[in-house]
Structure 1
Amino acid sequence: MIITKTPFRMSFFGGGTDYADYYKEHGGSVISTTFDKYCYVTVRHLPRFFDYTNQVSYSRIERVNSIDEIEHPAVREAMKYLNMRELQITYDADLPAKSGLGTSSSFAVGLLNAFHALKGQYADKMKLAKEAIYLERVLCNEDGGVQDQVAASFGGFNRINFSADGINVNPIVISREKKQLLNDNLMLFFTGFARFSSEIAKEQKGAMRDKQRELAEMKQLVDSAEAILTTKTADLNEFGKLLDYTWHLKRGITKSISNHALDQIYERAVKSGAVGGKLLGAGGGGFFVFYIEKDKQENLKKELGELLHIPFTFENEGSRVLYYRPEDFDA
């Protein structure tokens, strides 16, 4: 039996520049962090007592005799890709799917990590990230960027660069005190479920040809944000102001990113003292993160009292095998 633990991610700057159609020509960069909310994947070989050969448990339970019968696309294609058979797979998570935190990619990374471990293989972080990208973007044919798979695999607070030559992960060197202050000044709120991110991503992909200037500016904001984080004398509130700027900039790419209700939430947060914020993920719902100083946070919680506030802490480990017990399996 294998149990993997894989974090969710919070992306701050550069979203949209991690789409292959863009970064292979122009290069892309994002700043993101993982935090202490996780998905757990348990995988073991199914005992041969049942009248089915595979069981997959997530928001529903699938029991099938053929891998091709599995309806969950990531599970089906991952099993075929790594030649996995006769499995019992269980998914659990601290936060809901379709919420803008890269949950599907965290699941893909954790699932592949568990499969390799069950086969007695070690998969390094870059291998897991690239295989998860291949699984979601090629085998499952889902639109979207590639930052989520990398963030979930590596963990930590990073600048991730994308180009035609490959992917590069650079931890952001920030003092412990400044990193803690940033964590303390960020608040996460759940607004409700989003549409599938791949649906919104498809719209964004179609709009990119006409939004080259906005995407180039979003890429430049990564440099500005990194300078704020790594320069000792820089005022951290400038990070919040950049979030506000990128929120308005990204809303100009496609109308599906926000709506009237989400715009009102953002406006109420700013009136309550938030310096800036953004909707996480492709848009349409999910989680808002706001930068707001500690002495104003109670005001924000009261103002957005109808929303669920989620306290969190940055994490650094990425996807890992939490429990490992080898199994004998005769195919």
Structure 2
Amino acid sequence: MIIVRAPFRVSFAGGGSDIASFYEKNEGCVLSTTIDKYIYLSIHPSFNAGETILRYKKSEVVHDTSEISHDIVRACLKKKNIKNVEIHSDADIPAGTGLGSSSTFTTALLMALDAYNEKETDKEKLAQEACEIEINDLGNPIGKQDQYAASYGNLNFYRFQKDGSVSVEPVKMSPAAKVKMADNLLMFYIGGVHDASQILSEQSQNMQKVNKEKNLIQMCELAEKLKIELEKGNIDGLGQILHENWLLKRTLASGISNPRIDELYEKALKAGALGGKLLGAGGAGFLLFYVSQDSKEKVRRALDLPEIKFSYDIEGTKIIYGENN
């Protein structure tokens, strides 16, 4: 049996600039971190010859992998030419809640399949293959940040070049500054499941509109600014940048925010949050806020929502158990 762990991510600024319709014209950039919430995926030979068995939120048993209904699994098994296996998936966070779950699942599965084939892979190749599967093979209107974040792990600045290549640069902070930043971030679950593909598809189409494109350019500038501020040790600068980024992001597509999200966001600001954002494409999932120590309890009381405590992941997608019989 082989078991792989892949981390979810929290994006701070620049999200949406990793979509081809934008970066092929302007270049894009995102600053994000992976967190200690994971997808766990195991693979081993199927006990019954000729069967491929999947256990995720539903179960599938097929004799021909082309019959698999899970698009990502079907595409990955075809790419790696693997069948007659049993694959199980579990996660710390529900899918469709804005933490990059589909791409996290893809990187975990690709690494597991390579290990099953007794092949090694590096972080760059893993991220590239995950993008190829989701964007090119399956035609999903999504960006590249989630695949790279899950593969590399850690707190990084990603630049999406016009030619489609991606550069990955760790954000250089002192250990004390990183601890303070994590301690001042509060994440709350607001429920629901968003349709990231629908929101991102609309956002991609909106890049033809000058005002939408201009707003996303400003979001990239904020990601650049955030990297500078964090590396200078100005951790509190994250609050204002999160706020400015959210005000711009919510203009990019109609499904990013809604009246309930706007109301919760205003409650948090009035209680003392310095800034925040909805994580992911929008519409549901998690609200993230940067809050100074003396306001944390006020914000918690004002929102009265389930809080998800987290810290950093620094390893990215990795094999945590490997025994290939």
In the superposition, the TM-score normalised over structure 1's length comes to 0.95
The one of 153, 156, 160 aligned to 1:155:
153
1:224-263 mapped onto 2 (5 Å cutoff): 224-232=225-233, 234=234, 236-263=235-262
Partner of 2:72: 74
> Who is 1:43 aligned against?
43
Following TM superposition, by how much is the alpha carbon of 1:318 offset from its aligned partner in structure 2, in angstroms? 0.1
Q: Does 1:34 align with 2:26?
A: no
Match of 2:324 among 309, 319, 326: 326
SS at match of 2:255: helix
**Cα offsets for 1:36-81 (capped at 9, x unmatched):** 00000001110236xx611111111011111111100000010001
Letter of the aligned partner of 1:100 in structure 2?
A: G
CA distance in 1, matches of 2:223, 2:289: 18
Match for 1:222: what amino acid? A
Q: Find the counterpart in structure 1 of residue 311 from structure 2.
A: 313
Q: Residue in 1 aligned with 2:282? A: 283
Tell me how far apart the structure 2 counterparts of residues 143 and 124 of structure 1 sit (CA, whole Å). 25
How far did residue 313 of structure 1 move? 0.4
Q: 1:6 matched to which residue of 2?
A: 6
2:221 corresponds to: 220
5+ long unaligned stretches in structure 2: none
Q: CA deviation at 1:196?
A: 2.2
Q: What does residue 270 of structure 2 align with?
A: 271
**Distance (whole Å) between structure 2 residues aligned to residue 196 and residue 106 of structure 1:** 16
Distance 1:64 1:126 in 2: 32
> Do residues 146 (structure 1) and 147 (structure 2) align?
no
> Contact 1:144/1:198 (CA < 8 Å) preserved in 2?
yes
CA distance in structure 1 between the partners assigned to 2:125 and 2:238 by the alignment: 32
TM-superposed CA distance for 1:194, in Å, is 2.4
Query: Which residue matches 2:117?
Result: 119
How many Å apart are 1:207 and its aligned residue? 1.0
Aligned length: 322
Are the equivalent residues in 2 in contact too, given 1:156–1:317 (CA < 8 A)? yes
Is the contact made by 2:206 and 2:213 (CA closer than 8 Å) also made in structure 1? no
Structure 1 counterpart of 2:134, from 136, 143, 150: 136
**Paired residue type of 1:79:** L
CA offset digits 1:76-103 (Å, max 9, x no partner): 0100011011010100000100000001
Cα deviation for residue 301 of structure 1 reads 1.4
Aligned to 2:162: 164
The answer to whether the 8 Å contact 2:18/2:145 transfers is yes
After alignment, is 132-141 or 118-127 more displaced? 132-141
Shift of 1:303: 1.5
Compute the displacement of 1:193 (Å).
Answer: 2.0
How far 1:195 moved relative to its partner?
A: 1.9
Paired residue for 1:102? 100
Superposed CA RMSD in Å reads 1.0
* Contact 2:14–2:28 under 8 Å retained in 1: yes
Identity rate, percent: 39
Preserved CA contact (<8 Å) 1:194 1:283:
no
Task: Deviation per CA, 1:99-144: give whole Å up to 9, x if none.
Answer: 0000110000000000000000001001110000011111221111
Q: Deviations over 1:243-291 (max 9, x none)?
A: 1111111111112100001101101111111000000100011111100
SS in 1 for 2:188: strand
Residue in 2 that maps onto 1:203 = 202
SS at match of 1:43: strand
Q: CA deviation at 1:27?
A: 0.8
Q: Distance in 2 between matches of 1:244 and 1:222?
A: 12
Contact 2:27 2:161 in 1 (8 A): yes
